[in-house]
Amino acid sequence: MILAIDVGNTRIKAAVFEADILQEFFIFDKNELRDNIEKILKIFKSISHLVVSSVGDVDKNMFLEFSKTTTVHFISHDDAFPFFNKYKTPHTLGIDRMVLAAGATLKYPKRNRLVIDAGTCVTYDFIDQEDNYQGGAISPGLRLRYESLHSYTANLPLLTLESSVSFVGKTTSESMHSGVVNGFVFEIDGFIDRYKEKYSNFIIILTGGDAEFLAKRLKNTIFANSNFLLESLNQTLQYKIKND
């Protein structure tokens, strides 16, 4: 069994896998990391590998404390990946983006793939049908857009995401919700449309904390999977073990 851990900018997600089957999913704060790993390892005594993808600031030594009972892996730029990295600055490419690209490559072979990860930031990663990672884009996620409106203006309030958003805002708050949410949706649909104009045999995977909220608002057909990074992390480790 494999315990996959995704250390994000704001929270930690983890999942236990038996081969490619997700057995159980966890989400917790960074200050609960050690205790939760201990609990998971006690419950799932067959876990033989612990794999970490991190964009956060958690100390690696904390994970290494568990190396006596399980093999600990940190995915890095030097690992084997199932795609050819065409990024001009490959060592600046985020590990989370590389893991997502690996998962898309392995799960959807011989397709043009666009992975959209809607979290603190939204990232777009394109892997063509010849398994070349071509690059993508990064922009602020929903929460950052709300925070920037509040932080860089004198009078706008700090709002949180609401499930119902009007297109034409009748108040300042409604106008902010419309601008943030509808602007975000138009951005994502716009990116997808541009890729679809150029590439056929195309698949779009939407993941991240805001994936479910966004999925029903996009006009384009997508595969929404909020656990895609953890699934990709599991697949990336299996690929690494086979190819090391």
Q: Which residues contact 151 (CB under 8 A, 6 or more apart)?
A: none
d(Cα 34, Cα 22) in Å, to the nearest integer?
21
Q: Tell me if 176 sits within 8 A of 149, measured CB to CB.
A: yes
Instruction: Give the containing element (helix H, strand E) for 30.
Output: none
What's the order of all strands across the beta sheet hosting 223-224? 84-85, 132-140, 121-127, 112-118, 202-207, 223-224
**Whether residue 59 lies in the annotated active site:** no
d(Cα 219, Cα 108) in Å, to the nearest integer?
22
d(Cα 243, Cα 141) in Å, to the nearest integer?
35
Catalytic residue among 96, 128, 131, 210: 96
Catalytically active residues are 96
